[in-house]
Amino acid sequence: MNILTEHFNTPYHSAPFNSIKNEDYLPAFKELIQKSEEEINAIVNNPEEPTFTNVIEALAYSGEQLDVASNIFFNLNSAETSDELQQIAQEVSPILTEYSSKISQNEALFNKIKKVYDQKEKYNLNEEQQMLLNETYKGFVRSGALLNDEDKEKLKKISMDLSLKSLQFGQNVLASTNNYFKHITNKDDLAGIPDAILEQYAEEAKERNLEGWVVTLQYPSYIPFMTYAENRELRKEIALANGKKSFDGGEFDNQNLIKELLTLKQQKAELLGYANYADYVLEERMAKSPSKVIDFLNELLVKAKPYADKEIEELKSLAKADGVEEMQSYDHAFYAEKLRKAKYDLNDEELKPYFPLEQVQEAVFGLSKQLFGLTFEERNDIPKYHEDVKVYEVKENGDYKSLLYVDYFPRKGKRAGAWMTSYKNQYKKNGENSRPHISIVCNFSKPTKDTPSLLTFQEVTTLFHEFGHALHGMLANTQYPTLSGTSVKWDFVELPSQFLENFCYEPEFLKTFAKHYKTGETLPDEKIEKIEHSKNFMEGYQTLRQIGFGLLDMNYHTKVSELENESVKEFEDKYTKATQLYPSNPETAMSPSFSHIFQGGYSAGYYSYKWAEVLDADAFQYFKENGIFNPEIAAKYKILLSSGGTKDPMELYKSFRGSEPKVESLLKRAFG
């Protein structure tokens, strides 16, 4: 018996992590693919006239067990991987890609879909059904359903290559990150670094059976070092190591892989009748075209550049006083922290005691109750994939709403960063509302024997960000799994996450949870005021940085032919030049570790962070004008969240706000 192919005998049919063995995956995938193919064949071979119900709906509900098994496997491959899992991923990915290609290129199935699509007027469909039909038809066309057999075969091969190469890209970045550590034995080299961080570095050394301290390229280790270390040479050394991730010509170098991935994407786009991959992607986004994205980013660039230049001049004068004649990128975090302290008398280490992780989590739980009526109850009887994970049953008015897994601490088998994901989608079928299983994964500092996990303020906003995504998943209330939760246009998906971050800067909310973990004292008013004022600190710099990533991404996916005669580094420098505020270092490049666009789903979509900022600034402005806990507006916003991808996002937004979002809301928030 293979546990992954059975119905899970667990509370709410949650993933039976404690019973799954690595050797279960491959046979389970093969069996579940076969089962899903049988479901597809049943649709194709149905002798009855094709209808919305027996074709479109049947297809939307097919492959559920395969989806659950895939979610379990690939989520673990990100959060709790091993050499063995990575090896299985290399075997499984092409099998799954082949399976999805087989469906999307199934001519008999597409003919039935097309027949329903061509006769949609006769079915009297509601709005969600119309969206499902349109998305299904378009999905098949965009997957090559209208291609001839030879081109279908080409597309299938391209898709498989893309799947394997993007997986390899991520594995290289992870290996490159884990491969480096800096062992420090002289405490003088760590001058300026707060005690809590030193304790963390000492623990890292101990885990490696070393004396002294160890700094790694994992963010909770790397960022504090760059922010506080007075030793400029060491900052430079560690920053160079970070900038060389998968860019050092070694075993885990990604430069050729980038060119291969981009060439494959271009080939895919051309096969499907698009000029480039960005055109292909943006057809399905709110932004619609590369030129609109470039115009949007350039408009922001023009407005933000003077603010960014002014910020950097301030930092340079601070650095000059220290004898630094030419500031480099590895000096930025250090002098930005100095300036922030001088301006707002705030530093992360001072604030951290007021933000123990459990308190911050309670605050976001409380906010979810106040706005949306949700409560969270820890469950110890639901299987977990690691002892660090906690599971909560989420309820609304006493009724089960969702499961929420939280996984907060770094470890060797977990990729860097923070993300929200799901193990099971929400949908309605046969009169039952099948609820979702959602997960948040972060990399916060672990508690030590004397101290709980204390968050930097940026980590507080990170937790709220991911929780915003989680709410989008947990509140889902749609008919079909493919339109549920975060299954929305990609440049709309960051609205709920970025929206929730705004609450972290509101004094009336901060006072409810920013309390010292030892004394219980509330964060003093003057510090809360400084947090509020510091919200836009280095906003010009951060905006230019994001615009730079967005422009680089858009140019990679519209101008791939230029890489025939240019290195990745030359291309990167050329298209980020207008946003660069420090000299480019020939030894470093960010593209080879730019996982968002080469491994994640942000290809030709990185701009969506800024795009969604316009949405979130405008949405929060609406709350601010009427009270940040306003129940009527919260109820309207809850409808937006629960609707998933059932409506056009702009229509959904206008129903909530009463008008389209305005760029001015973002500029007002960012620059006053």
The rounded distance, in Å, linking the Cα atoms of 616 and 497 is: 9
Return the closest-CA partner of residue 664 out of 291, 303, 306.
Answer: 303
User: What's the gap between Cα 27 and its chain centre?
Assistant: 30
For residue 72, with 0-12 CB atoms within 10 Å meaning exposed, 13-18 middle and 19 or more buried, which class applies? Answer: buried
Amino acid letter at 282? L
DSSP string, 593-615: G-HHHHTSS-TTTTTHHHHHHHH
Helix boundaries (H) for 219-346: 219-228, 232-243, 255-271, 277-282, 290-321, 329-344
Helix boundaries (H) for 408-450: none
Query: What's the Cα-to-Cα distance from 391 to each of 11, 405, 571, rounded to whole Å?
Result: 11, 5, 45
> How many residues are recorded in the chain?
672
**Is 466 noted as a catalytic residue in this protein?**
yes
- What's the farthest any 2 CA atoms get from each other in the chain? 82
How do strand 390-396 and strand 399-407 relate by DSSP bridges? antiparallel
The rounded distance, in Å, linking the Cα atoms of 71 and 487 is: 14
Q: Quick check: 162 and 594 in contact, CB under 8 A?
A: no
Q: Which residues does 192 contact at the CB level (< 8 Å), separation at least 6? A: 228, 229, 230, 231
Q: Quick check: 525 and 643 in contact, CB under 8 A?
A: no
The rounded distance, in Å, linking the Cα atoms of 323 and 325 is: 6
The DSSP secondary-structure symbol of 181 reads E
User: What's the gap between Cα 229 and its chain centre?
Assistant: 29
List % helix, strand, coil for the chain (3-state, nearest 5): 60, 5, 30
Return the closest-CA partner of residue 394 out of 424, 427, 369.
Answer: 369
The rounded distance, in Å, linking the Cα atoms of 631 and 388 is: 35
For residue 7, with 0-12 CB atoms within 10 Å meaning exposed, 13-18 middle and 19 or more buried, which class applies? Answer: exposed
The rounded distance, in Å, linking the Cα atoms of 47 and 569 is: 58
Return the closest-CA partner of residue 131 out of 486, 647, 643, 644.
Answer: 647
Which of these is catalytic: 311, 466, 501, 613?
466
3-state class (DSSP) for residue 387: coil
The rounded distance, in Å, linking the Cα atoms of 155 and 141 is: 12
Q: CA-based Rg of the chain, rounded to a whole angstrom? A: 25
Return the closest-CA partner of residue 482 out of 404, 436, 419, 426.
Answer: 426
The DSSP secondary-structure symbol of 253 reads -
* Tokens linked to 556: 């990679």
Return the closest-CA partner of residue 101 out of 153, 58, 49.
Answer: 153
Helix boundaries (H) for 446-510: 457-474, 495-501, 507-510
Measure the CA angle with vertex 438, ends 434 and 442; round to 5°: 180
3-state class (DSSP) for residue 374: strand
Q: Quick check: 400 and 435 in contact, CB under 8 A?
A: yes
Token pair 């590895």 is at which residue? 330
**Angle, helix 631-642 to helix 357-372, in steps of 10 degrees:** 100
Catalytic positions, written as ranges: 466
